[in-house]
Amino acid sequence: MRESGAAMLDLALFITVMILFALGVRRPYLWVLAYLYIDILAPQKISWALLAAIPVSLIAFLLAFAGWIVGDRKADTRFSLRQGLLLALLVWCFMTLQWADFPEFGQAKWDWVWKALVFAIFLPVTLTTRLRIESALLVMVLTAGAIIISAGMKTVLGGGGYGNLYLFVNDNSNIYESSTLATVAIAIIPVILWLARHGTVFPADWRVKTFAGLLIFACLMIPIGTEARTGLICIAVLGLMLLRDVKRRALYLSAAAVLGLAAIPFLPDSFTERMSTLGSVQEDQSASTRMQVWGWTLDYVAERPLGGGFDAYRGNSFTYDLPVVEQDGTTVSVEYREITDGARAYHSSIFEMLGEQGWPGLFLWLALHGIGLWQMEKIRKGWRQRSAKAEQWQAPLATALQVAQIIYLVGATFQGIAFQPFILMLVGLQIGLWTYCQRRESAKQEAERKAMREARRAASATRPAMP
C-alpha cells in the first residue's frame, strides 16, 4: 500500500513538472514560475524514480533564460544598482573560491550559490507587469505553503519537536532546514496578507481570505513544530512591524498579549523549555559555542581580511569554560565544564559572509539589503497616498516585501543563510517592483511633459498674430 502511494506521488510530481514545461512553450514566462516551484519544493528529491533521474532544476533554469531571450520584449529591460551588487558578489565569491581553505567543500557550496545569485539577477528583468510580479509571489508562497501546511498539520497533531518534524525531504538543507523554514514561514506572512487583500489571480473573497488565514496559522505553527528559537524572535519582529500600519494600536497590543498568554497552556513542554534558554545564553552550550565561533571569525579575518572561501569555518577550533548551574534544595552551585570543539558552523549570516567572503563580501551583502530596505521604504511613502486604482497595490507590496526582508535579516543574524535561494528570490522581486515603479514614474513624467508641450503648441497656434 505504501509503495503504491509513493508511486502515485512520484507520478503526480512528474506530470506536474511536465505540464509546466509544456505550457511554457506558448507562455515562456511560465518557465520562470516552473523554476521557482522546482527550486523551492525540490520535487526531484521527493521523487524516488521519475524526477530523480532527470536534472529538472537545471532544465527549468535553462528554459527560463531561453524563454526570456526568445519570447520577451527587451525594451523594458533595466539593469539596476542592486543587480550590479549581486553580480559583484557573484564574481567575488568565485574569486574567493580560488583560495578557499577547503576547496572540495567550497566547490559543493558554489555549485548551488552561483545558480541562486544568477537567477536573482535574472528574475527582475522578467517582472515587467503586475500580473508577472503577482504570479511569481503566488507561486513562491503556495510552494512554500505546501511544505508549511504539511508541517503545521503534523505539529497540531503532535508530530513536532526539535529535529523530529518530518518534512517532504529529510535533507536538512535549503528551505527544509528547521530554523530556515521557521524564518521563511514567518517572513512570508506579510506577503500572504498582501495577496489576500490585493491579489488579482485569485480575487479576494471569503475563500481566499479563509485559506490565507489558515496558511498564516500554519506559518505560526512552524516555530513551535521545529522548536526553532529564531522563529520565536521572528514572530516578535513581525508583531512589531505590523504595528506600524495598525490604526488602533492599543487594541492590537492588547489582543496580541491575550492571544500570547492564551496559547501558553497549549504549547508542548519541550517547546517552552527550549525557548526558556533564550534568557540564559551563558549557560546554553549551543549559544556559547556560537559566540566562540564568532570570536574566532573576527580573529580569522584580522589575519585574512579577504576571507577564506566557502566553508572556511571548518578550520575553527576553541576551548572555553561553560557554567553549569546545579540546584540541591535551596542551595545553588555553579561549576565550570571545559568544552573543546571545532569545525562548527557560523550560525550567523553576518559572520558567514565575513569568514567566507571577508570584508568586501560582507560590505556587498549589507549594501544589497540596506539599499533594498531604503527602496521599499521609498515606494511605501511615495505611492501610498495615490488615488488612481492602478496605483493602490504598489505601496502595500513594498511594505510586505520590506517586512519580509527585515524578518529575514533578524533571523539571519542567528543562522548561516546569507545565500538562501528563497530569500534571493524575494530580493529579485524587490528589484522587479522597484524597476516597475521607476518605469511607471518615467512614463508618467514623459506623458506630463508631452501634454505640456502640446498645450504650448495649441496655445501658440490659437494666439492672434501681431499686426
Give the count of alpha carbons within 13 A of 96, CB side only. 32
Helix (H, G, I), strand (E, B) or coil at 291: helix
299: number of Cβ within 10 Å: 11
Task: Summarize pLDDT for 287-340 with one digit per residue, the tens.
Answer: 778 888 899 999 999 999 999 999 999 988 877 766 666 666 666 666 667 777
Specify the residue for cell string 572561501.
309
Residue 75 vs residues 33, 81, 124, 437, 465: alpha-carbon distances, Å: 22, 18, 14, 16, 43
Q: Any bridge partners for residue 277, and if so which?
A: none
pLDDT tops 70 at residue 160: no
Residue 306 vs residues 165, 292, 359, 368: alpha-carbon distances, Å: 39, 21, 6, 18
Asked if residues 410 and 182 have their Cβ atoms less than 8 Å apart, the reply is no
Q: Is the pTM of this model over 0.85?
A: yes
- Model confidence at 89, pLDDT cuts 50, 70, 90, reads very high
Q: 64 vs 73, which has greater pLDDT?
A: 64
Average pLDDT over residues 133-146: 96
> What pLDDT score was predicted for residue 54?
87
Task: Summarize pLDDT for 16-35 with one digit per residue, the tens.
Answer: 999 999 999 999 999 999 99
> What pLDDT score was predicted for residue 323?
66
Task: Summarize pLDDT for 231-247 with one digit per residue, the tens.
Answer: 889 998 998 888 888 77
- Model confidence at 177, pLDDT cuts 50, 70, 90, reads confident
Average pLDDT over residues 270-299: 70
Q: Any bridge partners for residue 321, and if so which?
A: 338
User: Rounded to whole angstroms, how far apart are CA atoms 210 and 289?
Assistant: 43
pLDDT tops 90 at residue 457: no
> What pLDDT score was predicted for residue 4?
64
Structure-block grid coordinates of residue 453: 508641450
Low-confidence winner among 13-22, 31-40, 74-83, 353-362 (lowest mean pLDDT): 74-83
Asked if residues 28 and 71 have their Cβ atoms less than 8 Å apart, the reply is yes
Residue among 325, 318, 326, 324 at smallest CA distance from 337: 324
Average pLDDT over residues 406-426: 95
Q: Any bridge partners for residue 339, and if so which?
A: 320
Structure-block grid coordinates of residue 231: 522563529
Specify the residue for cell string 507562455.
27
Q: Running DSSP on this structure, what letter comes out for residue 338? A: E
